[in-house]
Amino acid sequence: MNSIIQTLTAIVSDAFASCGFDPALGNVGVSDRLDLCQFQCNGAFAGAKLYRKAPFMIAEQVADVLKENPVFAKAECVRPGFLNLSVTDEFLKEQGEALMADPFLGIPQAEKPETIVLDYGGPNVAKPLHIGHLRSAIIGESLKRIARSTGRTVQGDVHLGDWGLQMGLVIAELSERCPEWRCFAEDFNPEKDEVPALEASELNEIYPFASKRSKTDEAFSQKAHICTYELQNGRAGYYALWKEILRASIADMKQNYEKLGVDFDLWYGESDADKYIPELMEILTGKGLLRESDGAMVVDVAEESDKAPMPPVIIRKSDNSSIYATTDLATIIQREKDFHPERIWYVVDKRQELHFTQVFRCAKKAGIVPEETDLAHLGFGTMNGSDGKPYKTRDGGVMRLSDLIATVTDAAKEKLTASEFVSEADHNEIAEKVGIAALKFGDLINQPTRDYVFDLDKFLSFEGKTGTYLLYTVTRINSILKKAGLDETSPLSLHSVYTDAERELWLNLLLTGGVFQRALDEKSPSHVCENAYQLATLFSRFYHDNHIMAEEDEAKKETWLCLCRFVRTVLLKHLDVLGIESVEHM
Ligand code: ARG
């Protein structure tokens, strides 16, 4: 459906045209003074310059035309030249009915098919997920859902770090702890030899140990490099062991991601890009882009307009190994082949900005994606502790994601009074959902590029811009509908618009689709969070002002219940695209 803004803009543009002015002046926006009017148009100011007339003369002429239109309850010119507009309740109701009938809830749908590959999560195999992975997962999941709500196809790819030195470190360490394993033997036979099963908890201990060891033990570090090289060059025993490390590690990751309500369409990793590296080298060589530098092969990506130095991107190191940028470029070849996407977006820590600038420039120079493909890095800031430094555990370590989830769940459990729950199991389940909602909303409400402070007390508050408040609002509506004996399918109609609180609610509901679009355009779920909060607040006011259940006028009561139910539908849509699960009661 056309948005109310589009509909009104069309009417006002026609009015400008009928007065002999440029219809492009008729852009309508929401009023920032809802006490004066609902919408406004400031086109007369631009018109004044164009036609050398005082703005109010233009606005007055246009207002006179608009006054004749039954859509407006008010259309007036206010000096020095604003057009203040309010629509009739009848029109608002019609718009509301159209919105309720729209399966997309007014969210503008992409005009032509569009595919986005969304690279988020980015965990590393054999390393436990920690809070550094939290933001990528939360923000990426939400962007995926927002883009899908606008009719776009999104392929969410976890892009595992599964091919680098960390694999060599784990293999080298295991080879010393368990030298008798067949996978370390030169004559390992993949047909009949087996690799023992590993546990994620073992890997979580081995990797940090090996990583630390390699910093002081030169021989071990050498060995890890050799293991990495041999793995990448197809040594069968290492490859079989690597497969097992991957299996154990991914099973563990999936559990954590599932708790967070994050899921991926593709579980590709850096290793999957390996087979595209020869093609990448061919393209770069063919285009004459590679040059040697200190034994390494690099591509220059500096541009004249660069204000800061832009180093060349290293494609192949002097020891012949490929690095991060090589893998990312090869992955772009893979994505182009598989999906020919219009956009590839990367939700990765903003500290990796230079890397992505280099990779994108190189990809465009080499023509591995068309010039018009939108390659974008959505760099996000850090989650800090109350000291303003990256959030740490009590003993100063990096917090594991599983521990963070346990912390928020415990805090939510304490906050929710036990007596309200049917059973202990019910209490636990709801506490986990509330805790995760609080955590996710507390993150997403911030513009992604900004750092923010992890403040569990604030996140879990029943008041203010919190996930808890939103879940609570939904449960309040649930209980109203339950009392009234209504469900999703009960027939309910709107009869009119009775109060200011309803008018404001309808305005919010009618403008919601535009907010989703803006969140996508700016790649910032924060707009959806803000809008959800506004909607919940308006609802609370409406609910507080009107005694729905006690209302004797049947038409009024039905209208209000209908509105309640639709507010819930729209609130749930907000939560859904934020990746937040709602609860029935709390
Ligand atoms: N594994 C990487 C890291 O831990 C993040 C991967 C991000 N995605 C990418 N295509 N580079 O830093």
CA 332, CA 313: separation in Å to the nearest integer?
A: 15
Residue 405 CA to ligand 1 center (angstroms) comes to: 22
Ligand 1: residue whose CA is nearest its atom 5: 122
Residue 472 CA to ligand 1 center (angstroms) comes to: 36
Residue 228 CA to ligand 1 center (angstroms) comes to: 18
Quick one: which of 75, 82, 152, 69 has its CA closest to 118? Answer: 152
Q: How many CA atoms lie within 13 A of 524 on its CB side?
A: 15
Return the ligand 1 atom nearest residue 356 CA.
Answer: 11
Strands ordered across the beta sheet of 39-41? 29-30, 39-41, 82-87, 72-78
CA 506, CA 535: separation in Å to the nearest integer?
A: 10
Q: Tell how far CA 310 is from the center of its chain.
A: 29
Name the CA dihedral angle for 368, 370, 374, 376, rounded to a multiple of 10 degrees: 20
Strands ordered across the beta sheet of 374-380? 153-157, 115-119, 343-349, 374-380
pLDDT in tens, 247-259: 999 999 999 999 9
Q: Is residue 377 within 6 Å of ligand 1 at its C-beta?
A: no
pLDDT in the model for residue 322: 67
- List, in order, residues 6 or more apart from 532 with CB less than 8 Å away: 470, 571, 574, 575, 578
Structure-block tokens of residue 502 = 């309803």
Contact 561, 481 (CB under 8 A): yes
Residue 55 CA to ligand 1 center (angstroms) comes to: 54
Q: Is residue 162 within 6 Å of ligand 1 at its C-beta?
A: no
Structure-block tokens of residue 486 = 């209504």
Residue 353 CA to ligand 1 center (angstroms) comes to: 12
DSSP of 188-210:
--TTT-------HHHHHHHHHHH
pLDDT in the model for residue 391: 86
Domains annotated on the chain, with CATH? 4-87 (3.30.1360.70), 115-158+269-377 (3.40.50.620), 165-259 (no CATH), 401-577 (1.10.730.10)
- The H or E element containing residue 348 is strand 343-349
Residue 526 CA to ligand 1 center (angstroms) comes to: 23
Q: Is residue 269 within 6 Å of ligand 1 at its C-beta?
A: no
Ligand 1: residue whose CA is nearest its atom 7: 122
pLDDT in the model for residue 318: 80
Quick one: which of 583, 576, 564 has its CA closest to 532? Answer: 576
Structure-block tokens of residue 14 = 């026609």
Return the ligand 1 atom nearest residue 161 CA.
Answer: 1
Q: Is residue 62 within 6 Å of ligand 1 at its C-beta?
A: no
pLDDT in tens, 503-554: 999 999 999 999 999 999 999 999 999 999 999 999 999 999 999 999 999 9
Greatest Cα pair distance, the chain, in angstroms, is 92
pLDDT in the model for residue 321: 67
Whole-model pTM?
A: 0.95
Residue 323 CA to ligand 1 center (angstroms) comes to: 12
Structure-block tokens of residue 326 = 């090589």
pLDDT in the model for residue 413: 94
Name the CA dihedral angle for 167, 173, 178, 182, rounded to a multiple of 10 degrees: 40
Quick one: which of 1, 37, 25 has its CA closest to 507? Answer: 37
CA 586, CA 583: separation in Å to the nearest integer?
A: 7
- The H or E element containing residue 76 is strand 72-78
Ligand 1: residue whose CA is nearest its atom 11: 328
Structure-block tokens of residue 397 = 């370590």
Give backbone dihedrals phi and psi of 452, rounded to 5 degrees, phi first.
-145, 165
pLDDT in the model for residue 397: 78
Per-residue pLDDT in tens (0 to 9) along the chain, 586 residues: 899 999 999 999 999 999 999 999 999 999 988 889 999 999 999 999 999 999 999 999 999 999 999 999 999 999 999 999 999 999 999 999 999 999 999 999 999 999 999 999 999 998 888 888 999 999 999 999 999 999 999 999 999 999 989 999 999 999 999 999 999 999 999 999 999 999 999 998 999 999 999 999 999 999 999 999 999 889 999 999 999 999 999 999 999 999 999 999 999 999 999 999 999 999 999 999 999 999 999 999 999 999 999 999 999 988 766 689 999 999 999 999 999 999 999 999 999 999 999 999 999 999 999 999 999 999 999 999 888 888 887 777 788 888 999 999 999 999 998 778 889 999 999 999 999 999 999 999 999 999 999 999 999 999 999 999 999 999 999 999 999 999 999 999 999 999 999 999 999 999 999 999 999 999 999 999 999 999 999 999 999 999 999 999 999 999 999 999 999 999 999 999 999 999 999 9
Residue 159 CA to ligand 1 center (angstroms) comes to: 7
Indicate the burial class of 147 (C-beta count within 10 angstroms; 0-12, 13-18, 19 or more). Answer: buried
Long-range CB pairs of 537-545 (<8 Å, 24+ gap) are: 538/501, 538/504, 538/505, 538/508, 539/473, 539/477, 539/505, 539/564, 539/567, 539/571, 540/473, 541/501, 541/504, 542/499, 542/501, 542/502, 542/505, 543/476, 543/480, 545/499, 545/501
pLDDT in tens, 187-201: 999 999 999 999 999
Pocket test residue of 162, 207, 348, 358 for ligand 1, highest count of atoms within 8 A of CB: 348
CA 399, CA 364: separation in Å to the nearest integer?
A: 38
CA 472, CA 475: separation in Å to the nearest integer?
A: 5
